[in-house]
């Protein structure tokens, strides 16, 4: 997923419209989902101070306030301006400040300077959200039948978009809270009891000619399609994500000192940064601790390792003699062996991979595949600003499958293609081993 949280497209027919419900029920249903979505976004920031919400502690991180404003700008730009007659933008300067990356929509605040936006303040952004929420209500209540289908499809997109930013709010605030000596906890929830380590095992698949990509029965991002055929050789995926304990062994046995395990670019980074462990690990071998959204915690050795970049995931796989999966291997296994639902993320729950997540292919972490993020056969970006969501990032990134402890439930599906550049460490990313059979 693009760090700006977008990168997608809308289904031609949404599930809602396909349901055959009468229009007034469609309106009511969408409005209800919209309200719940919007409340959850602000709920995610309820524990944060104004200062927490304004800081940008590295270029990839966006302030929470920016996320709250950008998601509102998205509704304003793609729904309200085109479809609500007489709508007036809340503040014309917000287009500059809260456009993420849409070239078609003009100049914008440099990404690295999002932390400089002290004005508008939080209260002002909250007023913006209220203004947009009210207008969205009016839109849903008053739009004509003729527009409803298109509007419903755009709303599905907007919901998916804001949900992506919900995950980013958590991911980014974790970095913000991590960089000073207080190591402040985002949430005071206590860790679940550690489980015994997962038993080793393999999910085998005979490969062959199969269909891949999303089927047209609900909202999906455009990069999940088109549906297409591909041939896979026989393979197996591990039944569990690599655990902290396994990764600690890799460290103890010299993983970070052994050039031959690493991709060339990865080794250069390890050397330049003197890296010795994953990004949020604290302490030292034998007594590892981990910075989490619940503060610094003892390491749960049987939980999935997280916050690996692609280079670390690849080096670990090389060390074991196995390899990273192809994205289509993962999709196939997920479709066949897994009901496809991960532990639902809630702001009141445990916001970190837990040993219990191992029971599920989706596994509590986003899982690096060795597949570069590229268009599926037949893929074409749509025209207009929304066409910038996915296609323009198809270079230099890798696909991740699964979903993490921070991922909203609606984003947990076998066809979902998350993507990040190989050096990304601040995402909740781990791996599952694969092998040829």
Candidates 196-204, 254-262, 299-307, 406-414; binding stretch for a second copy (CB under 8 A)? 254-262
Token pair for 197: 């380590």
300 touches a second copy by CB under 8 A = no
Q: Give the residue with the Cβ less far from a second copy, 200 or 395.
A: 395
Q: Which of 31, 47, 83, 121 binds a second copy (CB under 8 A)?
A: 121
DSSP 384-423: SGGGGSSGGG-SS-EEEEE--TTS-GGG--TT--EEE-TT
Candidates 20-28, 127-135, 230-238, 277-285; binding stretch for a second copy (CB under 8 A)? 230-238
**Cβ at position 367, least distance to a second copy in Å:** 17
Burial class of residue 403 in the structure, from the number of CB atoms within 10 Å of its CB (0-12 exposed, 13-18 middle, 19+ buried):
buried
**Cβ at position 37, least distance to a second copy in Å:** 25
DSSP 17-44: HHTT--HHHHHHHHHHHHHHHHHHHHHH
Dihedral, CA of residue 84, residue 87, residue 90 and residue 96, to nearest 10: 70
Under 8 Å between Cβ of 83 and 131? no
264-283 binders of a second copy (CB under 8 A): 264-267
**Cβ at position 129, least distance to a second copy in Å:** 16
377 touches a second copy by CB under 8 A = yes
142 touches a second copy by CB under 8 A = no
206 touches a second copy by CB under 8 A = no
Q: How far apart are CA 393 and CA 327, in angstroms?
A: 17
Q: Which of 16, 117, 237, 361 binds a second copy (CB under 8 A)?
A: 117
Using DSSP, state whether 202 is helix, strand or coil: strand
Q: Which of 146, 190, 206, 209 binds a second copy (CB under 8 A)?
A: 209
Candidates 120-128, 159-167, 346-354, 404-412; binding stretch for a second copy (CB under 8 A)? 120-128
Phi, psi at 148, each rounded to 5°: -60, -40
**Cβ at position 171, least distance to a second copy in Å:** 16
231 touches a second copy by CB under 8 A = yes
Token pair for 297: 């915690």
Map residues 32-61 to x or -, x wherever contact with a second copy holds by CB under 8 A.
-----------------xxxxxxxxx----
CA atoms lying within 13 Å on the CB side of residue 419: 26
Candidates 21-29, 33-41, 146-154, 393-401; binding stretch for a second copy (CB under 8 A)? 393-401
**Cβ at position 140, least distance to a second copy in Å:** 31
- Measured in residues, the chain has a length of 437
Q: How far apart are CA 419 and CA 401, in angstroms?
A: 9
Q: Give the residue with the Cβ less far from a second copy, 264 or 286.
A: 264
Tell me the C-alpha to C-alpha distance, in Å, between residue 321 and each of 261, 265, 315, 316, 324: 10, 20, 10, 9, 10
Q: How far apart are CA 65 and CA 116, in angstroms?
A: 11
Under 8 Å between Cβ of 51 and 65? no
437 touches a second copy by CB under 8 A = no
Using DSSP, state whether 70 is helix, strand or coil: helix
Map residues 322-361 to x or -, x wherever contact with a second copy holds by CB under 8 A.
----x-----------------------------------
Q: Which of 81, 89, 109, 295 binds a second copy (CB under 8 A)?
A: 109
Using DSSP, state whether 368 is helix, strand or coil: strand
77-96 binders of a second copy (CB under 8 A): 93, 96
Burial class of residue 196 in the structure, from the number of CB atoms within 10 Å of its CB (0-12 exposed, 13-18 middle, 19+ buried):
exposed
**Cβ at position 144, least distance to a second copy in Å:** 30
**Cβ at position 133, least distance to a second copy in Å:** 22
Q: Which residue in this structure is represented by tokens 């917000």?
A: 94
**Cβ at position 99, least distance to a second copy in Å:** 12
Query: Which residues of the shown chain bind a second copy in the complex (CB under 8 A)?
Result: 49-57, 65, 93, 96-97, 101, 103-104, 109, 113, 115-122, 176-177, 179-182, 184, 209, 228-233, 259-260, 262-267, 310-311, 314, 326, 370-372, 374-375, 377-378, 387-388, 391-396, 422, 436
């Amino acid at each position: 997923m693009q760090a700006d949280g977008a990168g997608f497209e809308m289904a031609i027919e949404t599930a809602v419209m396909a349901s055959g419900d009468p229009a007034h029920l469609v309106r009511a249903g969408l409005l209800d989902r919209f309200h719940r979505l919007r409340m959850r976004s602000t709920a995610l920031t309820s524990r944060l101070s104004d200062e927490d919400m304004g800081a940008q502690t590295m270029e990839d991180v966006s302030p929470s306030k920016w996320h709250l404003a950008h998601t509102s700008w998205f509704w304003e730009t793609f729904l309200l301006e085109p479809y609500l007659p007489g709508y007036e933008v809340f503040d014309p300067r917000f287009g500059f400040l809260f456009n993420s990356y849409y070239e078609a929509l003009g100049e914008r605040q440099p990404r690295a300077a999002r932390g400089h936006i002290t004005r508008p303040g939080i209260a002002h952004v909250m007023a913006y959200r209220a203004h947009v929420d009210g207008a969205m209500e009016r839109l849903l209540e008053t739009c004509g039948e003729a527009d409803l289908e298109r509007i419903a499809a755009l709303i599905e997109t907007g919901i998916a978009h804001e949900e992506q930013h919900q995950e980013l709010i958590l991911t980014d605030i974790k970095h913000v809270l991590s960089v000073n000596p207080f190591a402040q906890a985002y949430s005071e929830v206590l860790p679940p009891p550690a489980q015994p380590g997962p038993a080793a095992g393999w999910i085998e698949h005979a490969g062959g000619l199969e269909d891949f990509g999303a089927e047209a029965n609900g909202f999906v991002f455009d990069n999940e399609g088109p549906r297409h055929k591909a041939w896979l050789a026989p393979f197996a995926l591990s039944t569990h994500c690599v655990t902290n304990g396994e990764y600690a062994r890799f460290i103890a046995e010299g993983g970070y000192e052994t050039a031959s395990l690493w991709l060339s670019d990865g080794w250069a980074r390890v050397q330049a940064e003197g890296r010795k462990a994953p990004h949020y690990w604290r302490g030292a071998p034998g007594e590892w601790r981990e910075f989490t959204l619940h503060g610094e915690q003892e390491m749960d050795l049987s939980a999935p390792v997280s916050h690996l970049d692609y280079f670390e995931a690849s080096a670990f796989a090389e060390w074991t003699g196995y390899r990273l999966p192809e994205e289509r291997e993962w999709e196939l296994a997920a479709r066949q062996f897994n009901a496809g639902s991960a532990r639902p993320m809630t702001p009141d729950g445990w916001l970190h991979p837990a040993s219990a997540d191992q029971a599920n292919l989706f596994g509590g972490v986003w899982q690096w595949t060795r597949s570069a993020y590229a268009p599926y056969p037949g893929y074409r970006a749509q025209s207009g600003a929304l066409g910038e969501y996915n296609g323009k990032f198809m270079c230099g990134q890798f696909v991740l499958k699964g979903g993490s402890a921070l991922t909203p439930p609606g984003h947990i599906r076998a066809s979902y293609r998350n993507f990040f550049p190989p050096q990304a460490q601040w995402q909740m990313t781990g791996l599952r081993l694969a092998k040829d059979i």
